[in-house]
Structures are given as structure tokens and as C-alpha cells.
Structure 1
Amino acid sequence: MSFEVRVEGLEVPDDVRTSLAADDVAARLTRKDATLWGPGAESEAAIRLGWLDLPSSSRSLVEQLAQLREQLQSEGLDRIVLCGMGGSSLAPEVICRTAGVPLVVLDTTDPGQVAAAMIDLERTVVVVSSKSGGTVETDSHRRAFQASFAAAGLDEQQVGARFVVVTDPGSPLADTAAAMGARAVFLADPTVGGRYSALSAFGLVPSALAGADVGALLDEAEELAEHLTDGDNPALELGAVLGAAAVQGRDKLALADAATETGTAIEGFGDWAEQLIAESTGKEGRGILPVVLESATAPGATGPDTLLAVVGGDAPASAPCLTVRGPLGAQFLGWEYATAVAGRVLGINPFDQPNVTESKENTQAILSSGLPDEPPAATIGAIEVRGSGGVLDGVDLSALDGVSLAVDALLTAVPERGYLAVMAYLDRLADASAADLRSALASRTEHAVTFGWGPRFLHSTGQYHKGGPQAGAFLQITGAAGEDLPVPDQPYTFGSLQAAQAAGDRKALADRSRPLLHLHLTDRAAGIGQLLAALA
């Protein structure tokens, strides 16, 4: 078997292994036994276990997608743009990065990043992916691309032929796809939740159209699937380790791609696993917090509450750590299975996400009523400083190093065994250097530091922030946009939607009295540079 799990420096308690074996968890999970997570989870689990069949049930897509790609290429349509959020975008991004094939992933409301995606329209096909069919970001992207194609001179039929849609049967997006005459519509298995959908149409359609070998992914997953009924299979071991480590206090999972002589064997796996683990386990005041690292030796790889997991190769000489070897298809299935097992060990339902809608509802309310009036406590260079939860109490913002003092106050506010979450509502391409803040802050504290691009993280760690242990402190970064972009046939722009999403998330955290520092960059490049300099 090509999927292997090695554990160093951590013992799984006998009672965990005994319970998993005595309750025949491995075999019951592969039989889709919805009672594994208790009575409260049974109704949800009963309609969320279809991912176990995907290595075989998705086979019919392979030839269909190969033919569609050939057709598109013959028409000169060789640029694939994926509009999707969370589970609809994260797996295709990892698949295509690992395969080395180009895929434009649009999972933002930043007007600059959206505008940058709408180029080369003469060779562009847009894949619109949404399980619910009502995701506001994805619906806004679709509207913008439809308007751009029409403005480029395409008639209604030609515009429709530039769209491929992936959604659940009966969703509003399925109706929209039919009305617009989309070239192809793929109806996914409704018994597969978004974050478990890597090997479904959501993961495979955009990846195959971009040129990835999705048949090989299914082969890799199927090889592992044949062993998942065994009581000593490696995915069960991985789930036992993740759950036991969290119960023992190592509830921060530092994730890194393994380094090789030519780079990494798997590119960006942590971004996908982050959503799977955080959204599945972060609820009822407990959970596992994924911390995506730049490398296995980056700041934050070790700590008293941290378990390091290196994906695709060997871990450095530090303990405790996990090494998870195997090709990408097996990694997808193995981590999905392990997360379901870890949910049982933790005593939570790994298939619901009870807090995800909160920020969405806040956003809609703000779009209707307008942004709140929040004057800055100070403006220092290109940074406006605001705070809540008492984080700025006693901070001298008139000092030359006022930004550094504010950040230090936020780090001091991180509770014992807590974490700092950096949430950047910026352009993750044009403002990419903002991601350097994670390691810079992790170098200044012993606490775990995560980094997420907004609103992308709202479909990922956003669940953990609200439903997991209330031990987080939060740094939100927003920035003045250059040119805004309208959302066609809607009363808001991408810029106002992005601002409303940031404000809605601030409200959700303020309602929990969490310490939050909000830094608004009046000039993005200057502000990011100023902030990184303050942390140096």
C-alpha cells in the first residue's frame, strides 16, 4: 500500500485504540454506519457518507471530462477559470498545482483580484462550482463573467457555451445553468459534503479541464480504499493519532508539505486539509486547529500544544511529529477518513458546520443597512488602527512605534494554549507579501499563528473561530481598493461586499468578546511594508 503513516514522539492511549477496535470502527465506517458519532449526529451523517464511494463512483467522469477538454481545446478554449469557495475550490487548486497545470482559482471578493481574472476572454472557459448553488461570492463571479463575455461581443448562446457548472441536483445554480445555456452541467452526489468532495465532480471537473490526470487520482485513492475495512489500516491510525493528540492537549496541527530536491511532491496540501479538519472538528468548544506552515522548519512547527504533520515525505528531526506518505489521491481519501475517525474520538459530529452561516447573515444585514461607523483609534502612516475586546486598552498609539505596540498588545491577549489568527481581506496575488505576516508573528510568540485570506477562510477556519475553543485572538487586515467593480444586477459592488464580509466577521468575533485588532491599510503596498517592518 502506498499510503503510510509514521508517528514519532506521541503515544496513542490504549483506551483509544481499544475503543476503535472493540466498536469495529474501520468496518462500520466503510459500511457507512451513521451511528458512529452518536445519536445527535446520526441524521446528518446518514446523508454525508457518499465520499467513501467516490474512488469508484467518480470513474464515469474521467472519459466524459477528457472528451469535453478535447472539444474545448479544438475551439481554442484552453484557459480555465474556477469560481468557487471552500470545498469547491481548494481541492482543484492542490490537484493542479501538484500536477503543474494552470488553473485560475477565483475565491475572493477583492475587486482587484476579480478584475485580474477577467482577461484573455477569447480563450477562457469558466467553471462555476457551488454545492448549495447560492454562494454569494460564486454567484457574483458568474454575473461578472457573463457581463464581460457579453461586453466582448459574444451573443447569449456563445456566452452560455463559455460556462461549465458543477452543483447539487435541484440547486438554484442548476436552474440558472439551464436558463443560461451552459455548455455542460455536472450534478454532484448530494450525499457528499463540500469539504469531503475532493474526488467528486467538484474536485475533478475543473482539474481535468485544466489538464490534470484525474483518472490517476482515482487509482491512487482506490488502492487505499481496498484496505479501509482493516482494523489496522493507516488512515484509521492517522485519525486515532489526530484525535488522541487533541484530547491530550496537542490540539494544534502544524501542516507542511515535505521538501524534496526539486521542491515538494504535493503542492499546497495544507490549504485543503485546513478546511477539512477545522470545519469538521471545530465546534462545541473543542476541535483541532490546523496551522499551515511555509515549511516543516518554519516558526510554529513545534510547541507544547502542537503536533507537526509532514505530508508526502520525511519530517525533520523534531518530535512529536507525523509523517504521512502517499500520492495525492490517497492523501485526499486518507485524510477524509482520518478526520471522520478523529471526530469520533473527540465526540463531535464531523459533518455539520453550525457556525458558518453566522458571518454570512451578518454580511447580508450590513449590505442592507450599510457599513458601521467605526472611526479609527489612530492613523499611523498608511495604517488605520481599530480594536475591540479591550485589545487597545492602555496602548500608546501616539508613539512612533504605535503599530508595533498594538500588535504586541494583541499577542499579549492570546490566552494560555490559545492561538492568533491573521485574517487578510486583500488580493492574495497582488498583496501576496501579506502572507509573510504569519511567520513574522509566529517568531514573536510561542502561540500558534494561522493565516487566512478573506473571505476564503470563512468557508474554512471560520467555523473553528466561532465554534471551536474560545481561545483565539484575531488580527484582521483590510485595505483600500484601487478601482471597484460592480456586481451586475446587484445593489452592491465587489468592494462593498468584501467590506461587509470583513465587518460581519468582526461582529461575530466581537459578540464573543474575542480580542481583535483591525488594521486598515489606506495604501496596501505601503501598509504591508510598514507592518512587516514593525514586526522585524
Structure 2
Amino acid sequence: MGELLAAPAEAAAGLAVYGARAVDGDAPASTRQALVDADVPGRLAAKDPTLWGPDAAADAAAGLGWLDTHRRSRELLPQLAELTAELGDLDHVVLAGMGGSSLAPEVIARTTGRPLTVLDTTDPGQVRATLADRLERTVVVVASKSGATVETDSLRRAYWQAFLDAGMTEAEAGRHFVVVTDPGSPLEAVAAEMGAIMVPADPEVGGRYSALTALGLVPCALAGVPVTDLLDQADAYAASLGRTEDNPGLALGAALATAATAGRDKIALFADGTGVEGLGDWVEQLLAESTGKDGLGILPVVLESPEHPGVTGPGVLTISYGGALAAGDVPGSGAAAPDVAVNGPLGAHFLAWEYATAAAAIVLGVNPFDQPNVTEAKEHTSAILAGDASTPAPSSTEGAIEVYAPAGTPGDLAGALRHLLDGVHDEGYLAVTAYLDRNADAGVAQLRPLLAVATGRPVTFGWGPRYLHSTGQYHKGGPPAGSFLQITGTVDVDLPVPGKPYSFGELQAAQAAGDRRALSGRERPMLRLHLTERSAGLAQLFDAVGSLRA
């Protein structure tokens, strides 16, 4: 770590990137210099849509507003102040959103220590528990750029019905909603019908780049976050975007691209304990969904801490992140030294990582503003809900776990797991995806480090359907290197989606099945484990994974 600190850092407006020049310097030719020679800093700051090639120009022209959205967002501040005052009695803020509409607000709230309930699930148990929590004091921020996200619409319907069932009139229920969506989206008309307050999203910014738009700011302002500080931090940092020196975003982007093109395309991310919490989940979506296409991409692996497995390894670039460092502080903590450390205020982090992702995509030759494979799982889900589904029998059952494995897989649970892990090749990764209750079944996430030890390869963990709007694009459009462990669970008490012919449990099951169908169509190795009783099944699963390490 001392060597990392001793090397020159690239810094601007309180945000510093350590170690990036060393990564770039290890390459036969400097990626950073190539970007400078092509005038990428100036062209990107000027919103040149041709940087990613002619096929991406239209998407880029429509989506480069993130470079200065922090300035346009200042126009929202008076409305946010009025909104916060008007709804001051509603002190339980629930954000119903998916992907970029929920990940950035969650990071902001965690980092600033403000209470915000993020509801980005279709698990009926988790939805029921949230509906039962302080309903009369709840304001629901319904966030969807397109206005057509099925999860968000389902949650809106559930809350609307819950308010009416609690005895509220429609006018009273409407006061408990704030809608954030693009002008002209279907959700704008729904907001008017509900009598809900509508705040326009920035139409020049895509969802995963929307941290400093209304999608990120509205729920956080209602939760008591001083959002002006975030805009100030981004505004101060923005002066660096066109520079060829003292440009941390350029340094970070060059390091990401250099590593990826040299075979280090797995990015291990961990917080260094200096005050920025949960940023890895947001970076995961930004990098994976922006670069994971055309058989290419960068896979973020979000770690619980620097002490957990997966910090280093073949093909891995390790990056720590945190707040501003005091003199003498060391980037990162624990036994593993990161290759790169990014430290600074959160508003600057957002802009720096967005810039770095866009710059890395230039080198990789991919369009960072589309998500061509995200719709596949959605289409499969819709077809399954419409009745296009078969119900296969489990290949075996052990206790509270049904095993659904492809032909040729050992029949026992431990054998099926070992077969999946043995199939992860030297450049591959294992993705664990759990369609469970993020609160009641939170312990399942601890499978990630255990499986990382068992397989010796990068292992990611994602909650379904949340990951479908994040790493789901990389799983299908990125390198064909993934193996997949999907975990589902029996629903004991289901919950209807008001106005729809399906329940939350049926929607959740269809989403899991839709993703399996999309992955199997690409012949990705897949093992599904269904917990017929969740607590007992999880305990049994941990025992089975433990036996793999013996």
C-alpha cells in the first residue's frame, strides 16, 4: 500500500485516483496517451456522439446529458424544498424503482446516514413486510424513466391498494405518492390520474447514469439528504473533464481499459472504510450494463470487505473506493492492497465513474448507452406469464431443496454443486442469483465468499430481479464465460398484483424462469436450486457448500 500512496495521484476537486498510471504503464503502449492523442477528453466533455462509432452515435447523442445534468438539476432545488416541507409529516420514504432508479439513491442514503427504504423486488414476503411498515406515514417515490417497468408498476399498484384498504380516499392516497419519470411517459399520465406529484426526469440521461438527476435526488431529498452538496461536488469536479492532465476520470477509464484488454477484465471492488458506503453496487450496474455486450465487457465483483475472498487473483484488477483521505491515510484496508484506489466526495465519484466507463467503452469498442440484451429476460417473463411455460420435474430432491440440473450432472446436491464449480474455466466466473427476500433471507449472500473459496474464481452475487437491470446485460451480452447458480424459494403467503391476472409470487417465478430461458438459449451452464422451505433449505445449502471445502 505504501507504493500505491507514493506513486503520483491524479486529483481534481477533492477526488483522487491512485495507482491508475501504474496500471496503464504496465501495458506495451499507453491507453491513456492514445485517448489523449485522439482528443477524447475534449471531445467527451463537448458531448461528441461519434466517439463510440457510427452505430452508437444516435444513442450517444440522446444520452450524454450526464456530463452536465448536475447543473440542470439545480432547477429542481426549489421544488424539492417545497416538496420536503409539504410532505414533512410523511417520514417513511419508500423508493419503488429498479436499476439506476434505485441503486444511486441507496448509495447516497447509506453514505449520508439517512433512512430510505429501497423496494426493488417482486418477492411477496418482502413486499408484504414493507407495506405493513408505517403505512400512514409513508411517501412512495415511484421512479421509472420509461414509465413501463413491470416491477415498479406492480409496487405502485400494491401501495395504492394498501392505502385504499387502510381507509384513505383516492385523493388522500394520491398525496402519498411522488412520481419521477420522463416527460411523456405512460407513468406521467398515471400520476395525473392518481393525483400524485410528478417530477420530470432528465430526458437527456439514461437510467444508469441518472444519479444526479431527479431519479437520484427526489427520494434522497425527501429522506433528508442535503442534495445540494452532491451537486456542488459534481460541479467542482466537472472542470476536470476536458483536461489531458489532472483528470481522474480519464486516468481511471484508461486503467480499466488497459486491464480489460490485457486479460484483467474482472474488477474486484471494495469499500475502504473512509465513508462512502455501497458504491460498489452502483458501479457494478454502470460497468456491467455499459460494457457487457458484443461478447466483450468488464465484470465488477463486489466484495463484502477487503478481507473476503476474491480481492486478488488471475485476471482481476482490484479497486478500492472511499471518501476523502486525510494526510497519511492509506487507500484500502486489510491485508490486500488494491491496484487502484478512488477517494473523494460522493458527487464527484458519480461523475468520475461515469466518465471512466464511457472512456473505457471507447477502447473496448462497445456502445455504453444501450442495453440490447436486457429486454430478452423481460420478453421471456411476459411470455411465461401469458402461459408459455412448462413445469419440469426436479432432477433430484434432498430435504428442503429441489435440484434442477442438466443431464449428466451428479444426482446429489453436493455433487451437482461440485459439477457446476468444476465447470468454471480459468477465465470464467460464477454468478449466484437469488430470487428471495433480501431482508428475511439476507444470509444467502454469504454464499458468495464461500463459493469463491471453493472454486478459486471470481464469484458475483445478485438479488433477483434487481440484477436483471444490472449484471443481467453482461451475463447475456458479455463474454461467454459465466456459470450460473440460481436460487429460488417457495412462497408461503402470496400477494396479488392489483389489476393484474398474476401475483407477486407468480411474477417473481416468471422472472427467474425467463432469465433461465435466456441463459439456456446461450448454452450457459446453469444449476437451479429451489428451497421448498426457505430457512431449512438455506441451512442445508450452506452445509453442502461447506462440504465442498473440506
Contact 2:395/2:403, CA 8 A, preserved across alignment? yes
CA separation in 2, counterparts of 1:301 and 1:257?
A: 12
How much does 1:495 deviate? Answer: 0.1
Aligned partner of 1:351 among 369, 378, 387: 369
The range that moved more, 61-70 or 149-158, is: 61-70
How much does 1:191 deviate? Answer: 1.2
Identity, % of aligned positions: 59
CA separation in 2, counterparts of 1:465 and 1:226?
A: 35
CA separation in 2, counterparts of 1:2 and 1:42?
A: 33
2:299 corresponds to 1:289: yes
Aligned partner of 1:161 among 148, 152, 175: 175
Tell me the SS of whatever aligns to 1:294.
coil
Output aligned runs, 1:328-367, within 5 Å: 328-367=346-385
The range that moved more, 123-132 or 5-14, is: 5-14
How much does 1:370 deviate? Answer: 5.1
2:282 corresponds to 1:272: yes
How much does 1:277 deviate? Answer: 0.4
Alignment TM-score, normalising by the size of structure 2: 0.93
Question: Which residue matches 2:17?
Answer: 5
Output aligned runs, 1:241-256, within 5 Å: 241-256=255-270
Question: Which residue matches 1:94?
Answer: 107
How much does 1:67 deviate? Answer: 2.1
Aligned partner of 2:119 among 94, 101, 106: 106
CA separation in 1, counterparts of 2:65 and 2:515?
A: 32
Alignment-mate amino acid for residue 156 of structure 2: R
How much does 1:305 deviate? Answer: 0.5
Contact 2:320/2:338, CA 8 A, preserved across alignment? no
Contact 1:315/1:321, CA 8 A, preserved across alignment? no
How much does 1:84 deviate? Answer: 0.3
Contact 2:271/2:332, CA 8 A, preserved across alignment? no
Contact 1:386/1:518, CA 8 A, preserved across alignment? yes
Aligned partner of 1:230 among 224, 243, 251: 243
CA separation in 2, counterparts of 1:156 and 1:319?
A: 56
CA separation in 2, counterparts of 1:351 and 1:469?
A: 18
Tell me the SS of whatever aligns to 2:468.
helix
Question: Which residue matches 2:426?
Answer: 416
Tell me the SS of whatever aligns to 1:35.
coil
Instruction: Assess, with a 3 A threshold, how the Cα gap between structure 1 residues 394 and 162 changes in structure 2: closer, same or farther.
Output: closer
Question: Which residue matches 1:315?
Answer: 332
Per-residue CA deviations over 1:70-119 (Å, capped at 9, x if unaligned) read 2211xx21111110000100000110011111111110000001111112
Question: Which residue matches 2:446?
Answer: 436
How much does 1:29 deviate? Answer: 0.5
Alignment-mate amino acid for residue 249 of structure 1: G
CA separation in 1, counterparts of 2:405 and 2:427?
A: 22
Alignment-mate amino acid for residue 239 of structure 1: G
Alignment-mate amino acid for residue 438 of structure 1: R
CA separation in 2, counterparts of 1:370 and 1:162?
A: 37
Tell me the SS of whatever aligns to 1:10.
helix
Tell me the SS of whatever aligns to 1:116.
helix
Question: Which residue matches 2:77?
Answer: 62
Aligned partner of 1:46 among 48, 58, 61: 61
CA separation in 2, counterparts of 1:387 and 1:353?
A: 29
Alignment-mate amino acid for residue 222 of structure 1: D
Output aligned runs, 1:373-388, within 5 Å: 373-388=391-406
2:534 corresponds to 1:520: no
How much does 1:11 deviate? Answer: 3.3
Output aligned runs, 1:440-519, within 5 Å: 440-519=450-529
CA separation in 2, counterparts of 1:26 and 1:3?
A: 17
Tell me the SS of whatever aligns to 1:97.
helix
Alignment-mate amino acid for residue 2 of structure 1: G
Aligned partner of 1:136 among 150, 158, 161: 150
Tell me the SS of whatever aligns to 1:230.
coil
CA separation in 2, counterparts of 1:143 and 1:371?
A: 25
Contact 1:51/1:196, CA 8 A, preserved across alignment? yes
CA separation in 1, counterparts of 2:67 and 2:87?
A: 31
Alignment-mate amino acid for residue 244 of structure 1: T
How much does 1:415 deviate? Answer: 2.3
Alignment TM-score, normalising by the size of structure 1: 0.95
CA separation in 2, counterparts of 1:318 and 1:425?
A: 32
- Segments of structure 2 that go 5 or more residues without pairing to the other structure are 1-12, 324-330
How much does 1:394 deviate? Answer: 4.7
Question: Which residue matches 1:199?
Answer: 212
How much does 1:259 deviate? Answer: 2.2
How much does 1:33 deviate? Answer: 0.2
How much does 1:18 deviate? Answer: 2.6
Contact 1:55/1:225, CA 8 A, preserved across alignment? no
Question: Which residue matches 1:533?
Answer: 543
Alignment-mate amino acid for residue 360 of structure 2: A
How much does 1:472 deviate? Answer: 0.4
CA separation in 2, counterparts of 1:267 and 1:320?
A: 17
Aligned partner of 1:150 among 156, 164, 169: 164
How much does 1:201 deviate? Answer: 0.3
Question: Which residue matches 2:227?
Answer: 214
CA separation in 2, counterparts of 1:18 and 1:52?
A: 22
The range that moved more, 467-476 or 312-321, is: 312-321
Contact 2:301/2:460, CA 8 A, preserved across alignment? yes
Question: Which residue matches 1:78?
Answer: 91
Runs of 4+, deviation exceeding 2 Å: 8-15, 315-320
Per-residue CA deviations over 1:165-188 (Å, capped at 9, x if unaligned) read 000011000010011110x21111
How much does 1:319 deviate? Answer: 5.7
Per-residue CA deviations over 1:319-340 (Å, capped at 9, x if unaligned) read 6611001011111111001000
Question: Which residue matches 1:326?
Answer: 344
Contact 1:279/1:464, CA 8 A, preserved across alignment? yes
CA separation in 1, counterparts of 2:24 and 2:241?
A: 22
CA separation in 1, counterparts of 2:114 and 2:81?
A: 15
Contact 2:476/2:518, CA 8 A, preserved across alignment? yes
Contact 2:180/2:200, CA 8 A, preserved across alignment? yes
Tell me the SS of whatever aligns to 2:485.
strand
Per-residue CA deviations over 1:28-85 (Å, capped at 9, x if unaligned) read 1110000111111111101000011122111122232122112211xx2111111000
Tell me the SS of whatever aligns to 1:339.
helix
